[in-house]
A and B are shown apart, each in its own frame.
Chain A
Amino acid sequence: MALTTAPDPTRPDPGSVRAHADRRGSGRVRHSEGLAGYVFLSPWLIGLMGVTAIPMLLSLYLSFTNYDILTPFSEVEWVGLANYERMFTADPSYWHAVRVTLTFALIAVPLKLAAALGVALLLNRAWRGVGLFRGLFYLPSLLGGSVALAIVWVNMFNRDGAFNSLLSIFGITGKPWVNDPDWALETLMVLAIWQFGAPMVIFLAGLKQVPTELYEAASVDGAGRFRQFRNVTLPMLSPVIFFNLVLETINGFQGFTAAFVLSNGLGGPVDSTLMYTLNLYITGFTDLEMGYASAMAWVFLLAIAVLTAIFFSTGRFWVHYSDGEDR
C-alpha cells in the first residue's frame, strides 16, 4: 500500500552496502543464492521437522499403540487398529463429541457469517462514522477467544446473569442456561456469533471491490434492491464468502476455550459442551490415554482435510471469480 512512496527515503546508502558485502567476505560465501536460501530457511525447516513433521509421524505411530505418558517407550504395546475400532464402535462419548462439534459448527458458522454479511452491507453505504462502527464491531473478535470473556459469558447466562435480567423486563423468567444441557451449547454459539467482526471486515473489503457499474447496469435494467443483492452482490462476493466459510468452519471445529471454561474442563452439563478438541484434551491429558488421543487427532485432521477438499470441489459451482475463469 505505502510501497510506492516508501522506498526512496529508506533507500540504502550504496557505500554501506558495499562495505557490508566486503565484511561478509564475498569470496568465501560466493553469494550463491541456493546456499543463502537454505540458510534463511533453516529455522523454518528445523521447525517444520522438529515441531510439525516428526510430531505428526510420532502421533501416527502412537495412534496404533496403547501409550500413556507413564509407561516408558520401551514397554509401549502395538495394538493395531484397536484405538480406531474403539473410537468408531465402542465409545459413545466420542460420537457424542462429534455430534456436539457438528451441531455447533453447522449452526454457529452460518449465523455468524450471516451477521457479518448483514452488518457489512449496512456499513458499506459509507458515511463518516464507518471507521468507528467497524472498529467497535471488530473488538469482540479480538477479545472473544480469551478465558476472561468466556468467564463473563458463562456468568452472563447464569441464573443471576445479565441475560435473565433482560428477559425479566419482558416478564419472562429465565433459567441458568449454562447449567441446562439443552441450552449450554447455545450460549457458546451466541459467543461465537458475537465475534462476527473479523469476517465482517473481510466482507467489507470484498464489497468495495464490486464494480459500481454493475449496480448501475442492474438498476437501468429495472432490478430492485433485492435483485441487485441476489444477482450482483452475492455472485461478486462469492470468493470472499467462500474464504470466510472455509476459515470459520475450520475455526468452529476447534472451539475449545469457552467450552472448557463453561464446563470447568469436563464438557458438561451432561456432556452437552463436549467439543471434539475438549474430548481430545480430556482423553490425552486427564485420562492420559495418549495413544487413543493420537488416533482422535488423526481422524480430526483427516476430517478437516476432507471437509476442505469438499469445500474446494463444490466451490467451483458457486464461487465466481471475476477474471472469467469460473466454472
Chain B
Amino acid sequence: MVTPSADASTAAAPPTTPRRPGGRPVLRLLILVAIVAVVLYPLTWMIGTSVKSQEEIVNNVGLLPERFTPGNYTAGWSNFDVSFGRFFLNSAMVSLLTVVGNGLSCLLAAYAFARLRFRLRGMWFAVMIGTLLLPQHVLIVPQYILFRTLGLVGGEWPYLPLLIPQFLATEAFFVFLMVQFMRGVPRELDEAARIDGAGPYGIFRHIILPLSRPALVTTAIFSFIWTWNDFFRQLVFLSQLEDYTVPVALTLFIDSTSQSAVGPMFAMSVLSLLPVFLFFVAFQRMLVEGINTSGIKG
C-alpha cells in the first residue's frame, strides 16, 4: 500500500528536498499534526462532554471533565419512555437486514450485468448507471404514498418500507461496484466450469459467488455504516416511539431543549457512533481502499 506512493515521493521530491534536507518534512509533519488536532477536536470534545456533570457542561468547556460523571450514560439510556436499548436493537436490525438485502440482490444483478448475455442488457445497464445519481429525496414522497397505500407505513412491521428497496438492488452504487469487481474475475474459470457442464446458475454458485467475497465484504461494511447513520428515510417512515431507530430517537433530545438533557444527549450520541467507529478500527484499510477503487473506476 505504501510502496507505490513511496516511489512517487522519491521521484517527485528531488527538486525540493536537496536544498533543505530534513527541514521540510518536519514542517510538513507539524502541519499534518495540527490538522489531526482540528479533525479530532470535535470528537474528543464530544466524548469529554458526555462524562461531564451538568454544571461543568456550562462552566468548563475544556476537553476533559474535572469530575468524571458516567451518570449521563445511564440517564440518557432511560431518558424517554422507551429505553435506548430498544432503539439500538431497532437500528441494528434494520442495518443488518439491509446488509443481507444489498449483498444478495446486488450480487444477483451484478452477475447478470457482468457475465450473462441477454436482450437489452446494454440498455438496462445504462438505466442502472442513470439511477446512480438519482437523489433519494426525489422519490421519498411517492414512495411514502405507495407504501402507505399498501398499508406498510406504521403497519404490523414498520420497517418494511425501509427494507423492501434494499432487497431489490436499488442501491445502484453496490451493483456497479460488484460489476466492476466481477469483470476482474478471469473468464477462463467460467469456461472451465462450462466444459464441466455448469450452466449460468452453476457458474454463479461455484465461481462468482465464492470469488466475489471481497466485493461482498465492502458492500456489507458500507451498507451497514450508511444505514446506521441514515436519518432521512427513517425519519419519514417511522412514527411510533417504540419503532424508532437511534438517529430518530436522538432528535427527541433536541425537542426537549432543556439544558439538563445535554449530558445524556452527548452520552447517547457517543454510543450511537460507537459501532461505526469500531467498524472503522477493524476495517480501516478496506474502507479507505474500498472508496478508492470504487471512486476511481467511476
B140 at the interface (CB under 8 A from A): yes
B residues in contact with A265, CB < 8 Å: 251
25 contacts between A and B (CB under 8 A): A14-B193, A17-B197, A17-B202, A20-B202, A21-B197, A33-B116, A34-B117, A34-B118, A40-B109, A43-B168, A44-B109, A48-B128, A119-B32, A126-B5, A126-B9, A133-B32, A147-B231, A147-B250, A149-B42, A149-B269, A162-B42, A250-B135, A256-B137, A256-B231, A284-B140
Q: A138 contacts the other chain (Cβ, under 8 Å)? A: yes
Residues of A within 8 A of B210 (CB): 10, 12
**Which one, B65-73, B77-85, B92-100, B182-190, is touching chain A?**
B182-190
Interface residues of B (CB under 8 A from A): 1-2, 4-9, 11-16, 25, 28-29, 31-32, 35-36, 39-43, 45-46, 49, 57-58, 61-62, 104-106, 108-109, 111-113, 116-119, 121, 124, 127-128, 131, 133-135, 137-146, 148, 164-165, 167-170, 175, 184-186, 189, 192-193, 196-202, 204-207, 210-211, 214, 225, 228-229, 231-232, 235-236, 246-248, 250-251, 253-255, 257, 262, 265-266, 268-270, 272-273, 276-277, 279-280, 284-285, 287-288, 291-293, 295-296, 298
Contact of A83 with B by CB under 8 A = no
Residue contact A6 to B211, C-beta cutoff 8 Å: yes
CB of B199 within 8 A of CB of A36, answer yes
Selected interface stretch from A86-94, A102-110, A300-308, A318-326: A300-308
Contact A161 B61 (CB under 8 A): yes
| Mask: chain A, 42-60; 1 = CB below 8 Å from B; 0 = not | 0111111011101110110
Whether the Cβ atoms of B255 and A264 lie closer than 8 Å is yes
Interface presence of A79 (CB below 8 A): no
CB distance from A146 to the nearest CB of B (A): 4
Known contacts A43-B168, A125-B12, A131-B2, A3 near B105 by CB under 8 Å: no
Do A198 and B112 touch (CB < 8 A)?
A: no
A82 at the A/B interface (Cβ < 8 Å)?
Answer: no
Secondary structure type dominating chain B contacts: helix
For B222, the closest partner residue in chain A by CB is A142
Q: Which residue of B lies closest to A224 (CB)?
A: B15
Which of A123, A261, A285 sits near B251, CB closer than 8 Å? A261
A151 CB within 8 Å of chain B: yes
Most B-side CB within 10 Å, residue of A2, A148, A197, A250: A148
- A residues lining the B interface (CB < 8 Å): 1-3, 6-7, 10-12, 14, 16-18, 20-22, 24, 26, 29, 31, 33-38, 40-41, 43-48, 50-52, 54-56, 58-59, 62, 69, 119, 122-131, 133-140, 142-143, 145-149, 151-153, 155-156, 160-162, 164-165, 194, 197-198, 201-202, 204-208, 210, 212-213, 215-216, 219, 223-225, 228, 240, 243, 247, 250, 253-254, 256-257, 260-261, 264-265, 277, 280-281, 284-285, 290, 293-294, 297-298, 300-301, 304, 308
Asked whether, in the complex, the Cβ of A225 is within 8 Å of the Cβ of B108, the reply is no
Contact call A202/B251, Cβ cutoff below 8 A: no
